[in-house]
């Protein structure tokens, strides 16, 4: 009996100690969380109440963050704060606010936060490509090299325009082979746009039926879809979860498969390159690598080559493809717009000659319609996150160094103080009283400042030539036996239209 009493007392003592330890750990954790989340600054932007551990993450629908931000903007104003667990985030809304940050304080807002979810791909302090690289000397050298090399290989020149025109004719031939039957043009348009960036980066294009090319496009589509939703956001701000065995492979398998494919393309390219004959961007990068330690210090390494070419492929394909898909969807939903564009094409270009960039000056309505597609659909509603390079003040609010900044480009492209009908498709936004093309300063689909899209010029060339060539050759209509396509989009970093089919009737 005494033994049982002794055991009971010992168990009671142990449970008492465990309870005290549990209370201590709970209090310690709550205090630690409070210290991590507390704001030490006055005049910091307002925002929703931050909960323990998760911060304000429940205040945002990460499947449609731009909609959540629009709602929060109405409550807290054009500058408001969020907290993703212990990461401070400030969201900028409206044209004046975004312009003041990205243009007037361009260097201060030019940094990038670190993205732990990309670490397994090689993005880190030593090699970070262009799009995600930290602001500094290496990034400056890499961006400068990319822009100058792209110009050398034709960006903004007649030589590249001729390649775009040629690819547009390949695309028309592929569409013509559908013989007026209903089809989804996503794959064909994606093939055409990706071929342009492939020809610049890798020196060659792929046939539309090429199985290797199909695999590349499929991998890239999987990569995009992996980065949407709540889980990637959580893993970025609580990176210790990425150390759980199998998490990276299960959640981001598409990322790894895409970069593995890029590695194959780069390695295959290296087998045939010569410093005496520079065929493309990859060759030019390899030649820089030959310059030794000085070049290596500026990021010219094999690791960075794979990341930079991956960045160029990503940035130069999906957004333009998606914009063209939106453009075709819009003209089949509003056939009167298609008729006006075709009338202008017939008048300026005719039916036989392939469109050129010089035709833009004589085609104000077509240019207005294309710009309105980009404004109305805001294909990249939030852009990539920025980070403050040092402490700053914006419209009276203090924003400390190291704060993650989200520029809500959707709020700029639909700013009610700028656009007459911000939520409608209205090409007249880009036409003056005399019917001449005008471009308001608030048209920022490619962002602005030091982190503006380096491929903007190429994208504009592709959009105009592909779009006008397609409408020169075909009239696009909806299949009679199918429901009307959805006009809203699906968000996964990029705002894409839901799958739809059209019929292309030769003109």
Rounded-to-integer distance, Cα 208 and Cα 222, Å: 19
Rounded-to-integer distance, Cα 263 and Cα 269, Å: 10
pLDDT of residue 31: 46
- What sign has the CA pseudo-torsion 252, 203, 157, 110? positive
Q: Residue 473 pLDDT > 50, yes or no? A: yes
Q: Which of 442, 387, 382 is nearest to 409 (CA)?
A: 382
CA dihedral 202, 208, 214, 216 (to 10 degrees): 20
Residues 210/174, Cβ–Cβ less than 8 Å: no
Q: How confident is the model at residue 274 (pLDDT cuts 50, 70, 90)?
A: confident
For 61-203, list the strands marked E by DSSP: 79-84, 87-92
Architecture of domain 137-506: Orthogonal Bundle (1.10)
Beta strands 494-497 and 489-492, pairing class: antiparallel
Q: How confident is the model at residue 32 (pLDDT cuts 50, 70, 90)?
A: very low
Give the chain's length. Answer: 507
Domains of the chain, by residue range, sit at 137-506
Collapsing DSSP states into helix, strand and coil, what is residue 492?
strand
pLDDT of residue 9: 59
Name the DSSP letter for residue 206: -
Q: Which residues contact 494 (CB under 8 A, 6 or more apart)?
A: 224, 318, 319, 322, 379, 380
Calculate mean pLDDT across residues 410-415. 96
Its pTM stands at: 0.88
pLDDT of residue 123: 77
* pLDDT tens digits, 222-236: 777 777 778 788 878
């Amino acid at each position: 009996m005494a033994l049982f009493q002794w055991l009971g007392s010992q168990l009671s003592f142990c449970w008492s100690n465990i309870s005290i330890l549990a209370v201590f750990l709970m209090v310690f954790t709550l205090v630690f969380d409070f210290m991590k989340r507390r704001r030490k600054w006055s005049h910091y932007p307002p925002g929703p109440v931050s909960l323990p551990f998760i911060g304000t993450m429940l205040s945002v629908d990460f499947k449609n963050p731009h909609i959540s931000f629009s709602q929060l903007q109405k409550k807290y104003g054009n500058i408001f704060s969020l907290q993703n667990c212990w990461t401070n985030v400030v969201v900028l809304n409206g044209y004046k606010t975004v312009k003041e940050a990205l243009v007037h304080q361009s260097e201060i807002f030019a940094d990038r936060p670190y993205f732990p979810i990309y670490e397994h791909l090689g993005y880190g302090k030593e090699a970070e490509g262009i799009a995600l690289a930290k602001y500094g000397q290496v990034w400056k050298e890499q961006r400068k090299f990319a822009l100058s090399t792209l110009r050398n290989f034709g960006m903004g020149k007649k030589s590249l325009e001729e390649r775009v025109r040629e690819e547009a004719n390949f695309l028309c031939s592929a569409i013509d082979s559908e013989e007026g039957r209903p089809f989804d043009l996503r794959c064909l348009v994606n093939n055409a746009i990706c071929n342009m960036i492939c020809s610049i980066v890798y020196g060659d294009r792929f046939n539309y039926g090429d199985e290797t090319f199909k695999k590349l496009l499929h991998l890239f589509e999987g990569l995009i879809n992996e980065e949407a939703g709540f889980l990637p956001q959580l893993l970025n701000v609580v990176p210790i979860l990425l150390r759980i065995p199998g998490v990276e492979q299960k959640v981001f398998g598409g990322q790894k498969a895409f970069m593995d494919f890029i590695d194959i393309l780069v390695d295959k390219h290296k087998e045939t390159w010569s410093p005496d004959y520079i065929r493309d961007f990859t060759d030019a990068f390899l030649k820089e690598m030959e310059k030794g330690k000085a070049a290596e210090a500026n990021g010219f390494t094999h690791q960075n080559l794979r990341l930079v070419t991956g960045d160029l492929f990503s940035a130069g394909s999906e957004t333009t493809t998606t914009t063209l898909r939106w453009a075709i969807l819009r003209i089949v939903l509003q056939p009167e717009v298609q008729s006006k564009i075709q009338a202008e094409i017939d008048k300026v270009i005719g039916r036989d000659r392939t469109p050129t960039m010089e035709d833009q000056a004589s085609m104000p309505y077509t240019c207005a319609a294309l710009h309105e597609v980009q404004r109305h659909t805001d294909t990249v509603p939030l852009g990539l996150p920025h980070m403050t390079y040092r402490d700053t003040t914006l419209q009276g609010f203090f924003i400390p160094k190291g704060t993650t900044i989200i520029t809500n480009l959707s709020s700029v492209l639909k700013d009610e103080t700028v656009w007459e009908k911000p939520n409608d498709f209205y090409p007249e936004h880009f036409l003056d009283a005399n019917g001449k093309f005008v471009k308001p300063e608030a048209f920022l689909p490619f962002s602005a400042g030091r982190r503006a899209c380096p491929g903007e010029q190429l994208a504009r060339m592709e959009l105009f030539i592909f779009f006008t060539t397609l409408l020169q050759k075909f009239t696009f209509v909806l299949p009679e036996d199918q429901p009307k396509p959805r006009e809203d989009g699906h968000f996964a970093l990029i705002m894409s239209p839901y799958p739809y089919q059209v019929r292309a009737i030769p003109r």
